[in-house]
A and B are shown apart, each in its own frame.
Chain A
Amino acid sequence: MGEFGIGQPVRRKEDVRLLTGGGEFTDDINLEAQVYAAFVRSPHANAKIVAIDALAARSMDGVIAVYTGQDLVDAGVGVLINDASYTNRNGKPMNKPVRQVMPVAQTRFVGEVLAMVIADTPAQARDAAEAVEIDYDVLPAIASTAHALDKGAPLVWPEFGENLIVHWEYGDKDDVEAKLAAAHTRVRVDLVNNRLIVSPMEPRCAAAEYDAAADSLTVYTPSQGGRRLQMMLARNLLKMAPEKVRIISRDTGGGFGIRSKMYPETVMVAFAARKLARPVKWRGDRSETFVSDYHGRDQINVAEMGLDANGRASVLKVETLLNVGAYLSENGVRLPMEGGGRIIPCMYDIPDFYFSVKPMFTNTICTDTYRGAGRPEANYIMERLMDAGARALGLSREEIRRRNFITESQMPYKTHLGFTLDSGDFDGTMQMALDAADWNGFEARRAESASRGKLRGIGLATFIEGAGSRPVEGMRMRFEENGDVTLFAGTYSHGQGHDTVYAQLVNEFLGVDFDKVNLIDGDTATSPETSNGTFGSRSSMVGGMGVKRASEAIVAKGRKIAAHLLQTDAERVVFENGIFRAQSSSVTLAEVAAASRDASKMPEGMALGLDETVVFENDVENFPNGAHVCELEIDPETGILEILNYIAVDDCGVVLNPFIVHGQVYGGVMQGVGQALTENVVYDASGQLLSASYMDYGMPRAAHMPMIEALFNIVPAKTNELGVKGAGEAGACGAPPAILSAVGDALSHIGVSHIDMPLTPERVWRAIQEASVKAA
């Protein structure tokens, strides 16, 4: 293991470029003679579109075109698709509405795009967008997850007669009910998993140009990998051959799940560029990202668990309401089943399980994948239940977990929803966290805080993740004449540090200098044909294994060439640290690469070139897991909460670069802290978004960020040869339940039995007030 190999804390090679303004984000792209788009957005959560009058707008200075949904219909533009397929137990399929890029007849959420203006300047486009007059017939709306399924609630899609999309179930409800009733101890939690604004630093943006002669379209946009967007745009929307559509993302300022999706604005910019045969650009502003980027989370969970006298959980019932928004987004409806469902009931061995999911339509922007995508929600349910179980039985929180963990001897362990956990030392990982946090010494610290009038609490959360989804990915490796190695990846680094980690892997496997490895990604014209992108903590496994497979193929080929050059047999050639050796003679990889370009130096019958394109394919995902301990202090007079200590122990398998994985842990924890403490989307009863700016939406600040001690308990994954497990989403899984556990600990001593996220000062203060009223 060299200085730049696997496991080394190599500094990120992309940082100098990004931190010195060398990044090239979509808004940095300016196309010759480009014109600008602005969008007209619905001010109503539910309204019939009676008429759109763009006459005044069309006559304004600089205005080139105004397009409405009807123009798209007339031009034969397709619709935004969703390929989820769930059925009710009675056989009735899920309700699937058609989602037009811009609706013609009815708008269903505030901020929905209803018309697009193209003008010479951005200001002219905005002025004209304000002049487009839309006559609405306003209808009652429903935004509330808790009430959208009530009888008499306004219907988002009246043709379905209900807001319920599908009632999806797993397990035998009656049997589970009976077992819960018979259990020695039965605990229940009622939880709200708050809706979140995802807030990438870069707002959405798109620029497109159309080459009429070639009938080809190039679209620049932030993304998480362009292949899926390319296919959707070409096949489903603009009805072009995929090879005629190119998606380019040079740099992207944060993805978090929502940047992997196709949005109406992107389609419209591409449509207009083709229609006008002129480059068109649009940069969304922050207000637009609030109302039109997909949101995250938004579940209500009622869960019950039955335990025996020893604290062994034997039966579990989870009933989830999921707010999907006005349409079916690409993945929103799947999250409890295919996101959280990978793991639930998480790291616990619970034989009897009933799981009910009711996704629903509401008059809100869609929800979709957000860092963790269903797994944070699943872990949150289980951890709150475990804490409730501990309290009910008088067991410590670590002991009840220990008694219910799936053990290594049970692995491979088949989960209820059909996944196989391959590895994990849950008890050992938890113990590391407890030790690092001085868990057993806590009572003295609690007493010290109490002497200052503060309520101190310590919390524990263990969690498991399912990472590396859609485990198929291409990777291409090319040898340059100057000795550099270029990787063409279908994964797309938008903050994850692939330039660095892939270079480490090439250094490890081929001995090529770290600085001589270059990554090209974010371009459908150069990425391997099989490319899915970067999401779901997948790139370490699928991208990393792609590098490994390509390297192996190159070494195999190289040995033959080296043998030819060294006049020996390939079996006698050993490859190590970039050098092919046979006894006392040797040749370097660079020399072999050079020879591979020269037919005279190649063995007979071998094709020229050392380059390789491989497709890595795996049957299974990997299962990162961890244990977080959070210690905090509450000012009972104000409800202000301060995190004092935070321990994150992660088992993300073999760590390719601890520096980068720590960064992932810090970022994930911070987003979890945000969900737990400050972030919350609020719609009013009419479907207006009240938390529509950072004046009202609580983004966590640096001051909320605790010092985090990040540790590893490395248990290599058995599902891939690198032994890696994903690292990107763990923090967001661990932080909310760890913080809630700590607050529960601090407040249970004064009689508070329930509190929900986000723990804003007023919420905490009210919980304390109510408990003291009850106690009085």
Chain B
Amino acid sequence: MHNFNYHRAADVADASGKLTSLDDPKVLAGGMTLLPTLKNRLAAPSDLIDLAGIADLKGISVEGNEVVVRAMTPHAVVAASAEVQKALPALAQLAGNIGDPAVRHRGTIGGSVANSDPAADYPAGCVGLDATIVTNKRKIAADDFFLGLFETALEAGEVITSVRFKIPERACYMKFRHPASGYAVVGVMVAKYGAKARVAVTGAGPCVFRVAEMEAALEKSFAPASVADIKVSPEQLMGDIHCSAEYRAHLITVYARRAVEAMV
């Protein structure tokens, strides 16, 4: 680990100010990716701005047709929340299967979303559940938020404060874990909003994406058979020594169908 200056932000404005004024700062929002990166000397930020002390950034509420999870809420809290389990059980289930218990107690939704790791679970939750990413500056639709591999719409000094998930009629998240890392190789969130359907896939590509063809088919008929034969091209997908792009493409179809099966 290289040296850095550690700051415990007093509030979001303080964090945002430091983010714009310091040399090469990074937000610490749980640190489940950042800390291993630092330990392996793969990054050397000048300053870490820790959001852990900001009470306003923790907590869960159901507001109208939305589940609101504040940015520094750990995954384990989302998983165990009676409100989330009642209003949006698919989200509780997603959060409860992220990483391992240690990760679930330290990692936060804001940290996960801001990182846009291609193998993270929350991006599929956000896009599949038509979420809005709320920052100290604006509201960003999840569809517009995740731009690419570790790339989001966040601008300099912008800090995520909460994520607002639209409560669906039904939803289900299913994932295939990587044989080595345990991360999602394919994670599929399927959600039904009246006549509308959303299918969001994480893990398989460089960034979370929706499968329009599956959504259209489900909107015609919300049944497993509707997606069972829809293939995603492996060309846009990633591959590694354990799971080729072709295999990932195959798994997307299988897990989308299984998610729908679990919902009907």
A interface vs B, CB < 8 Å? 123, 126-127, 130, 287, 637-638, 640, 678, 680, 682, 690-691, 694-699, 701, 760-762, 765-766
Contact = CB atoms under 8 A, between A and B. Distances in A.
B247 interface: yes
B242 A638 contact: no
Interface stretch (B106-114, B122-130, B174-182): B174-182
Contact of A678 (B1, B180, B243, B247): B180
Nearest to B243: A762
Could you tell me the dominant secondary structure of chain B's interface residues?
loop
B247 A698 contact: no
Contact of A699 (B180, B241, B242, B250): B180
B40 A697 contact: no
A760 B251 CA distance: 14
Could you tell me the dominant secondary structure of chain A's interface residues?
loop
Given A287-B40, A637-B254, A638-B176, A690 B241 contact: yes
Contacts of B254: 637-638
Given A287-B40, A638-B251, A682-B241, A123 B181 contact: no
Interface string B234-264: 0000001111100100110010000000000
A760 B179 contact: yes
Nearest to B39: A285
Contacts of B251: 638
B41 interface: yes
B182 A696 contact: no
Contacts of A680: 241
Contacts of A694: 180-181
A690 B244 CA distance: 15
Given A695-B180, A696-B180, A699-B180, A760 B242 contact: yes
Nearest to B241: A682
18 contacts: A127-B2, A638-B176, A638-B254, A690-B241, A691-B180, A691-B241, A694-B181, A698-B180, A699-B180, A760-B179, A761-B176, A761-B243, A762-B242, A762-B243, A762-B244, A765-B247, A765-B250, A766-B247
Given A126-B41, A638-B254, A762 B247 contact: yes
A698 B250 contact: no
A695 B181 contact: yes
A768 to B, nearest CB: 11
Given A638-B251, A638-B254, A760-B179, A123 B1 contact: yes
B250 A696 contact: no
A699 B2 CA distance: 29
Nearest to B119: A695
B121 to A, nearest CB: 16
Interface string B173-212: 0001001111100000000000000000000000000000
Instruction: Indicate the member of A638, A682, A762 with the most B CB atoms within 10 Å.
Output: A762
Contact of A697 (B41, B180, B183): B180
- Lowest 5 CB-CB distances: which A-B pairs, in order? A698-B180, A695-B181, A762-B247, A698-B179, A682-B241
A637 B261 CA distance: 15
Nearest to B255: A638
A760 B180 CA distance: 10
Nearest to A695: B181
A400 to B, nearest CB: 33
Interface in B76-121: none
A696 B41 contact: no
B240 to A, nearest CB: 7
Interface in B1-49: 1-3, 40-41
Contact of B242 (A640, A698, A701): A698
B228 to A, nearest CB: 11
Contacts of B240: 696
A234 B196 CA distance: 76
Given A680-B241, A697-B180, A698-B242, 10 more contacts: A127-B2, A694-B180, A696-B180, A696-B181, A760-B242, A761-B243, A761-B247, A762-B243, A762-B247, A766-B247
Contacts of A640: 176
Nearest to B176: A638
B253 to A, nearest CB: 9
Contacts of B244: 762
Contacts of B179: 678, 698, 760-761
A432 B3 CA distance: 61
Contacts of A695: 180-181, 183
A694 B244 CA distance: 18
A682 B242 CA distance: 10
Contacts of A699: 180
Contacts of B250: 765
B59 to A, nearest CB: 32
A287 B2 CA distance: 17
B247 A701 contact: no
Nearest to A682: B241
Contacts of B40: 287
Contacts of B183: 695
Contacts of B2: 123, 127
A684 to B, nearest CB: 9
Contacts of A698: 179-180, 242
Instruction: Indicate the member of A690, A691, A698 with the most B CB atoms within 10 Å.
Output: A698
Contacts of B1: 123
Contacts of A638: 176, 251, 254
A701 B182 contact: yes
Nearest to B1: A123
A291 to B, nearest CB: 13
B118 to A, nearest CB: 13
B116 to A, nearest CB: 17
Nearest to A759: B179
A541 B56 CA distance: 65
Instruction: Indicate the member of A123, A695, A699, A701 with the most B CB atoms within 10 Å.
Output: A695
Nearest to B250: A765
Contacts of B241: 680, 682, 690-691, 696
A701 B178 CA distance: 12
A640 B175 CA distance: 12
Contacts of B181: 694-696
A701 B243 CA distance: 18
Contacts of A696: 180-181, 240-242
A514 to B, nearest CB: 37
B246 to A, nearest CB: 9
A442 to B, nearest CB: 27
A287 B251 CA distance: 31
Contacts of B41: 126, 130
Contacts of B242: 696, 698, 760, 762
A765 B244 CA distance: 12
B120 to A, nearest CB: 13
Instruction: Indicate the member of B3, B240, B247, B251 with the most A CB atoms within 10 Å.
Output: B247
Contacts of A762: 242-244, 247
B229 to A, nearest CB: 13
A122 to B, nearest CB: 10
Contacts of A766: 247
B139 to A, nearest CB: 34
Instruction: Indicate the member of B1, B242, B244 with the most A CB atoms within 10 Å.
Output: B242
Nearest to A130: B41
Contacts of A690: 241
A701 B177 CA distance: 12
Contacts of B176: 638, 640, 761
A680 B242 CA distance: 10
A563 B40 CA distance: 69
A766 B243 CA distance: 11
A766 B246 CA distance: 10
B113 to A, nearest CB: 21
A771 to B, nearest CB: 16
Nearest to A694: B180
Nearest to B100: A701
A287 B181 CA distance: 15
A130 B250 CA distance: 43
A765 B242 CA distance: 12
